[in-house]
A and B are shown apart, each in its own frame.
Chain A
Amino acid sequence: MGITREEVRHVAFLARLELTPEEEELYSEQLARIIDYMEKLKELDTTGIGPTTHPIPTPNPYREDKVQPSIPQEEALRNAPDKERGFFKVPRIIGEG
């Protein structure tokens, strides 16, 4: 199954990746091979088998609703490329997500 250059560009945009035309070509071939491999799984007969999102049938552990100490503000902001008055500072975002 082929992956078009357009699809590669779309996925790259969603992942915020900038690709050169050579890379687009290379990834469209590589991604096509990966998808082909997935296609192979379809050859298995899975009648009667439900979708499996998790391999281990353990129940999810819960935590109690108790407040635990957070980390200090300086610590939280330490890796930030830019910060001001306790905020992370980023290029202006217009509108909303």
Chain B
Amino acid sequence: MEFEAVIGLEIHAQLRTESKLFCGCSTRFGSEPNTQVCPVCLGMPGVLPVLNRRAVEYALKMALATGCRVNTNSRFARKNYFYPDLPKGYQISQYELPLAEKGEVLIEVEGRRKRVGITRIHLEEDAGKLVHGEGADSRYSFVDLNRAGVPLIEIVTEPDIRSPDEAVATLKALRDILLYLEICDCNMEEGSLRCDANVSVRPTGETTFGTKTEVKNMNSFRFLRNALEYEIKRQIEVIEEGGKVVQETRLWDPSRGVTVSMRGKEEAHDYRYFPEPDLLPVPVEEGWLEEIKGGLPELPAEKAERFVREYGLPPYDAGVLTASKHLALFFEECVRLYPKPKVVSNWIMSEVLKELNRENKDIKDSSLTPDLLASLLKLIDEGVISGKIGKTVFEEVYRTGKDPRKVVEEKGLVQIADRDALKGIVEEVLKTHPAQVEQYRKGKEGLIGFFVGQVMKKTQGRANPKVVNELLREALS
């Protein structure tokens, strides 16, 4: 029997505000434990939360960027459960009447475009962080509440996703939008972007849903893909063996490559939501919404389409270049200085991304500027250096941020196009390889490449290949 997977994602994104959602404590990552806390986020009796306006603004940006309908009067609710990282005994979240509903995100998998619905986007506060003791401390856990109260948005998708590839594409698309909006760092390792998935399988063609499990703890794109692949296979096996999938939460264990049941903890998932009495409905005036809408940047999908239209790039190039806002900006600035979009795109996609990926860096953090790349490309066009030498120069420019012209001068890499200068070298090469010259003259013309190679070797790749070819043919005829 053929099966298909049905997947929905729940994504938590930490908003890049300066202060927490309901108090003025800093949201900075990596400080000493429990130094960014106050009576409000520690859950002391008698304190009152006051809503951070910027957090609402950021959440609204995401809502508008994904085409959601905004509720101009959303409510906060208490989600009640006990856990040491939750000092109040409840999380302030949204339940009925979330901030935004019914949006969508577009993905592309293997050239096929698809719309993934967004059920809702709501605001909530993050919990603290637990560190589990080791060795002598293995009977204890340690609680740091610096993260407690940091603003999050939860983005819930419709169960429109049908494969691990589509799930990864959906998370990537949402991440790209969050990064373009500059409202989240999207660092999955540090936990500023987290993803859980609801997964079920059903016989292909079936329209009702199978029993789903919730898979957690997938803190990278690779883990998301691996965990989903494993979980789908596991559920199919259970059904094929005549069993039933149990509705439960499962944790991805990357070291063993399996999902593990968290059975027994399910009873606690009775959150008894009720409206938060300490906070009033969240007002979103029409004017504010319009202002935010007007300030939205061009989003990745729109930008990619424009790159195809305006610069005549293949959709693949446009997709790669627009995945990062800064890379897209770099490309456009480069093209402004050196108006050959496809050449610029090729250099960025090969040389530039090779260096950036090796260092795991974003273009904005490197010393390479559009100006430097454009000058380098001009040097090649002017014939000052060859394309091959250009790559050597590029590495140096990337590393040091030096002007390519300077690098060429300092390293003596200027191309030799002068006929007289090359003539002597060509003659020398022919003199030292009489046997090959003989063969060439007998009709083995492919040997021209060998002679060119020898001249290049003698000039450390600096000889202009066109001139060398001409000189060789003259000398050999």
Pairing of A with B: yes
Residues of A within 8 A of B (CB): 10, 13-14, 16, 53-54, 56, 58-73, 76-77, 84-93, 95-97
CA distance A7 to B84 in the complex (A): 25
CA distance A31 to B85 in the complex (A): 31
With A61-B280, A87-B144, A92-B140 given, can you name 14 additional A-B contacts, CB distance below 8 Å? A14-B268, A54-B277, A54-B281, A62-B50, A62-B51, A65-B18, A65-B54, A67-B19, A70-B36, A86-B144, A87-B142, A88-B34, A88-B144, A90-B140
A-facing residues in B266-280 (Cβ within 8 Å): 267-268, 270, 272, 275, 277, 279-280
Q: Are A93 and B84 in contact (CB under 8 A)?
A: yes
Given A70-B38, A86-B33 in contact, is the A63-B53 Cβ separation under 8 Å? yes
Chain A proximity mask over B124-151: 1 for CB below 8 Å, otherwise 0: 0001001111000011111111000000
> What chain A residues lie within 8 Å of B37 (beta carbons)?
70-71, 76
Tell me whether B311 is interfacial, beta carbon within 8 Å: no
> What chain A residues lie within 8 Å of B281 (beta carbons)?
53-54, 59-60
Chain A residue with the shortest CB-CB distance to B283: A59
Contact of B267 among A13, A72, A85 (CB under 8 A): A13
Given A59-B283, A88-B143, A92-B132 in contact, is the A76-B34 Cβ separation under 8 Å? yes
CA distance A94 to B141 in the complex (A): 9
Q: Are A84 and B142 in contact (CB under 8 A)?
A: yes
Given A13-B267, A70-B36 in contact, is the A92-B54 Cβ separation under 8 Å? no
Tell me whether B262 is interfacial, beta carbon within 8 Å: yes
**Distance from A54 Cβ to chain B, minimum over Cβ atoms (Å):** 5
Chain A proximity mask over B13-35: 1 for CB below 8 Å, otherwise 0: 00001110001111000001111
Tell me whether B86 is interfacial, beta carbon within 8 Å: yes
Given A13-B267, A85-B33, A91-B141 in contact, is the A96-B81 Cβ separation under 8 Å? no
CA distance A1 to B138 in the complex (A): 48
Chain A residue with the shortest CB-CB distance to B143: A88
Tell me whether B265 is interfacial, beta carbon within 8 Å: yes
Q: Are A68 and B140 in contact (CB under 8 A)?
A: no
10 contacts across the A-B interface (CB closer than 8 A): A58-B280, A60-B280, A61-B50, A65-B18, A67-B25, A70-B38, A71-B37, A73-B34, A90-B84, A92-B132
Tell me whether B55 is interfacial, beta carbon within 8 Å: yes
Q: Are B51 and A92 in contact (CB under 8 A)?
A: no
Question: Which residue among A66, A70, A77 has the maximum number of chain B CB atoms within 10 Å of its CB?
Answer: A70
> What chain A residues lie within 8 Å of B55 (beta carbons)?
65
Chain B residue with the shortest CB-CB distance to A54: B280
Tell me whether B236 is interfacial, beta carbon within 8 Å: no
> What chain A residues lie within 8 Å of B140 (beta carbons)?
84, 89-92
Q: Are A92 and B84 in contact (CB under 8 A)?
A: no
CA distance A76 to B87 in the complex (A): 12
CA distance A65 to B56 in the complex (A): 11
Q: Are B139 and A53 in contact (CB under 8 A)?
A: no
Question: Which residue among A13, A91, A92 has the maximum number of chain B CB atoms within 10 Å of its CB?
Answer: A92
A-facing residues in B25-74 (Cβ within 8 Å): 25-26, 32-39, 42, 50-56
Q: Are A97 and B127 in contact (CB under 8 A)?
A: yes
**Distance from A92 Cβ to chain B, minimum over Cβ atoms (Å):** 5
Tell me whether B212 is interfacial, beta carbon within 8 Å: no
Tell me whether B3 is interfacial, beta carbon within 8 Å: no
Tell me whether B82 is interfacial, beta carbon within 8 Å: yes
**Distance from B26 Cβ to chain A, minimum over Cβ atoms (Å):** 5
Tell me whether B356 is interfacial, beta carbon within 8 Å: no
CA distance A56 to B55 in the complex (A): 24
Q: Are B84 and A60 in contact (CB under 8 A)?
A: no
Q: Are B38 and A67 in contact (CB under 8 A)?
A: no
> What chain B residues lie within 8 Å of A60 (beta carbons)?
51, 279-283
Question: Which residue among A10, A63, A89 has the maximum number of chain B CB atoms within 10 Å of its CB?
Answer: A63
> What chain A residues lie within 8 Å of B34 (beta carbons)?
73, 76-77, 86-88
Q: Are B141 and A63 in contact (CB under 8 A)?
A: no
CA distance A95 to B18 in the complex (A): 30
Contact of A92 among B56, B81, B139, B280 (CB under 8 A): B139
**Distance from A53 Cβ to chain B, minimum over Cβ atoms (Å):** 4
**Distance from B143 Cβ to chain A, minimum over Cβ atoms (Å):** 4
> What chain A residues lie within 8 Å of B279 (beta carbons)?
60
Chain B residue with the shortest CB-CB distance to A51: B96
Q: Are B84 and A59 in contact (CB under 8 A)?
A: no
Chain B residue with the shortest CB-CB distance to A59: B283
Chain B residue with the shortest CB-CB distance to A53: B275
